[in-house]
């Protein structure tokens, strides 16, 4: 079906301008790529700030998690990168942080003011179980454990078990279980501290971190010593005692144990060993109180105006000794994302713009390809000269005897026939008026 005149004129224009349109977009791409490179330098710097703050927040939050047994949200750069792909103007932080107007910063930044209940609770639990154990018999319990035996020649058969105070075995098991739980919490705290110390660069905080680690190791060592003590020993006193005499001798014993009953202080409940483990736990409890205060000061807090969006630090200024990590991370995140104006957003937006230009170029080329299946078209290589000859950019599209059309933006379409082809010059059956100019997209085409 022949094309209408309007279609020929429109399609031929699309064909001849496609190259210049592509070149124009490519030029914009080059400029945009240069701007992307500049923004990427800024983004790399902002990433370093963000990454330092974020890593410290995550590390200290992990320690808080061990101490409190509460979950704290940690984030990676992937969360920030994902957020920077959002186009909504009211996105302030990653969508995974649930921060849209009004900004839910406390939830978004993993901020928590929950009390520390992990290790402190375990200390309280152990102290209670120890008190319960001692309440059964306040005297020298180390010599009242089932498993001790009378010597040969005593009133009983050698090796017979002596009678333990009622409930003593269960109380001992509870104390051992509770001190084991406390040790697990301390071990997790040590792991968290090792990671923090490896990453921390602030000397003031590092000194506090090291002191805390020393406290943890001392408590672990004391627990290991106590747990490693035996719960039973053999009664080896030379004189023969009856069961009643044995009980009478041990019930009123003070520290240390009577000679022959616990001569080397190796039982868990020898008063000397009880005093040692209680002192160690008391010392650790005091150090823990100091550490929880330090962590609270490190993390700080923040508030945000629901009308202006301005973020304000709470809990002291942002200094090396009072860093307010939540606020610092919020500031670092502002540099990268902000209200869709941060460096990462900028880089991603321009990258998406460059990608869209690639799509635009592909679209232009596809459009020209489709029209080229309907028309063989070439723009003039030079202005017409009011002669029978005209120069075109691509004469290979035409043959002698072809019926062709000529048109420009400011000249009507005229029809002619090709008489001869001499290189890029075509000889036509009519003169081409000199008003057909290359600046006005003069072109020559034929229907296919």
Convert the pLDDT of each residue in 289-302 to its tens digit.
899 888 888 887 77
What pLDDT, on a 0 to 100 scale, did the predictor assign at position 97? 37
| 316 and 333 belong to one structural domain | yes
| 36 and 143 belong to one structural domain | no
What pLDDT, on a 0 to 100 scale, did the predictor assign at position 147? 35
Higher pLDDT, 102 or 245: 245
Tell me if 231 is assigned to some domain: yes
Q: Mean of the pLDDT values across residues 306-326?
A: 70
What pLDDT, on a 0 to 100 scale, did the predictor assign at position 265? 60
| 216 and 332 belong to one structural domain | no
Number of independent structural domains in the chain: 3
User: For residue 66, what pLDDT band results from cuts at 50, 70 and 90?
Assistant: confident
Q: pLDDT tens digits, residue range 332-385?
A: 777 777 656 788 878 888 888 888 899 999 999 999 999 999 999 999 999 999
| 293 and 307 belong to one structural domain | no
User: For residue 150, what pLDDT band results from cuts at 50, 70 and 90?
Assistant: very low
* Percent over 90 (pLDDT), the chain: 38
Name the average pLDDT for the chain. Answer: 77
In whole angstroms, how far apart are CA 99 and each of 50, 88, 89, 107, 346?
Answer: 18, 12, 12, 8, 20
Q: pLDDT tens digits, residue range 383-396?
A: 999 999 999 999 99
Tell me if 372 is assigned to some domain: no
What pLDDT, on a 0 to 100 scale, did the predictor assign at position 67? 77
Question: Which residues have C-beta within 8 Å of that of residue 75, sequence separation ≥ 6?
Answer: 54, 58, 94, 96, 97, 110
What pLDDT, on a 0 to 100 scale, did the predictor assign at position 335? 79
| 210 and 246 belong to one structural domain | yes
What pLDDT, on a 0 to 100 scale, did the predictor assign at position 103? 36
Q: Mean of the pLDDT values across residues 198-222?
A: 93
What pLDDT, on a 0 to 100 scale, did the predictor assign at position 218? 96
User: For residue 263, what pLDDT band results from cuts at 50, 70 and 90?
Assistant: low
**88-92, 126-130, 133-137, 243-247: least confident range:** 88-92
What pLDDT, on a 0 to 100 scale, did the predictor assign at position 164? 47
Q: pLDDT tens digits, residue range 50-59?
A: 888 888 888 8
| 165 and 295 belong to one structural domain | yes
| 85 and 174 belong to one structural domain | no
| 266 and 400 belong to one structural domain | no
Tell me if 306 is assigned to some domain: yes
| 27 and 132 belong to one structural domain | no
- State yes or no: pLDDT of 130 exceeds 90: no
* Percent over 70 (pLDDT), the chain: 70
Tell me if 418 is assigned to some domain: yes
**44-48, 161-165, 218-222: least confident range:** 161-165
| 403 and 311 belong to one structural domain | no
What is this structure's pTM? Answer: 0.63
Q: Which domain holds residue 262?
A: 118-299
| 156 and 279 belong to one structural domain | yes
- State yes or no: pLDDT of 237 exceeds 80: no
Residue 9 token pair: 């004129």
- State yes or no: pLDDT of 136 exceeds 60: yes
What pLDDT, on a 0 to 100 scale, did the predictor assign at position 344? 84
Tell me if 220 is assigned to some domain: yes
| 125 and 239 belong to one structural domain | yes
Cα 389 to Cα 430: distance, rounded to the nearest angstrom:
9
Residue 310: is it exposed, middle or buried by C-beta count within 10 angstroms (0-12/13-18/19+)?
exposed
Tell me if 258 is assigned to some domain: yes
Residue 215 token pair: 């406290």
Tell me if 180 is assigned to some domain: yes
- In three-state secondary structure terms, 372 is helix
What pLDDT, on a 0 to 100 scale, did the predictor assign at position 435? 95
Higher pLDDT, 106 or 262: 262
Could you report how far apart the first and last alpha carbons of the chain are, in Å?
Answer: 10
Tell me if 102 is assigned to some domain: yes
Inter-residue contact 219 to 291 (CB < 8 Å): no
Q: Mean of the pLDDT values across residues 108-130?
A: 68
Cα 334 to Cα 354: distance, rounded to the nearest angstrom:
24
């Amino acid at each position: 079906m022949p094309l209408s005149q309007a279609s020929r004129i429109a399609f031929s224009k699309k064909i001849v301008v496609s190259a210049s349109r592509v070149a124009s977009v490519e030029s914009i791409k080059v400029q945009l790529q240069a701007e992307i490179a500049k923004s990427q330098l800024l983004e790399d710097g902002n990433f370093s700030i963000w990454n330092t703050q974020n890593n410290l927040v995550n590390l200290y939050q992990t320690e808080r998690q061990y101490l409190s047994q509460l979950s704290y949200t940690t984030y990676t750069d992937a969360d920030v990168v994902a957020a920077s792909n959002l186009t909504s103007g009211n996105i302030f932080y990653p969508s995974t942080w649930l921060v849209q107007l009004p900004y839910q910063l406390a939830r978004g930044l993993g901020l928590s003011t929950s009390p520390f209940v992990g290790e402190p609770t375990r200390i309280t639990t152990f102290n209670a179980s120890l008190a319960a154990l001692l309440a059964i018999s306040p005297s020298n319990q180390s010599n009242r454990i089932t498993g001790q035996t009378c010597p040969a020649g005593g009133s009983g058969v050698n090796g017979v078990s002596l009678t333990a105070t009622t409930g003593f075995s269960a109380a001992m098991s509870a104390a051992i279980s509770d001190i084991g739980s406390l040790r697990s919490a301390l071990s997790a705290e040590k792991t968290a501290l090792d990671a923090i110390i490896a990453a921390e660069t602030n000397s003031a905080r590092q000194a506090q971190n090291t002191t805390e680690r020393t406290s943890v190791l001392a408590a672990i060592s004391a627990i290991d010593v106590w747990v490693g003590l035996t719960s039973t020993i053999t009664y080896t006193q030379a004189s023969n005692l009856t069961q009643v005499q044995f009980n009478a001798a041990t019930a009123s014993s003070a520290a240390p144990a009577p000679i022959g009953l616990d001569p080397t202080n190796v039982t868990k409940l020898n008063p000397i060993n009880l005093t040692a483990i209680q002192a160690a736990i008391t010392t650790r409890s005091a150090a823990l109180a100091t550490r929880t205060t330090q962590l609270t000061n490190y993390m700080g807090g923040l508030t945000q105006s629901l009308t202006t969006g301005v973020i304000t630090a709470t809990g002291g200024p942002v200094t090396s000794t009072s860093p307010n990590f939540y606020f610092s991370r919020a500031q670092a995140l502002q540099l990268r994302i902000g209200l869709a104006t941060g460096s990462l957003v900028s880089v991603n937006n321009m990258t998406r713009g460059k990608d869209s230009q690639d799509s635009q170029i592909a679209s232009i080329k596809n459009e020209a390809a489709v029209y080229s299946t309907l028309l063989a078209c070439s723009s003039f290589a030079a202005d017409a000269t009011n002669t029978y000859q005209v120069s075109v950019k691509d004469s290979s599209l035409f043959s002698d005897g072809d019926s062709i059309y000529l048109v420009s933006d400011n000249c009507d379409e005229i029809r002619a026939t090709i008489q001869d082809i001499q290189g890029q010059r075509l000889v036509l059956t009519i003169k081409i008026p000199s008003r057909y100019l290359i600046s006005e997209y003069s072109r020559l085409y034929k229907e296919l």
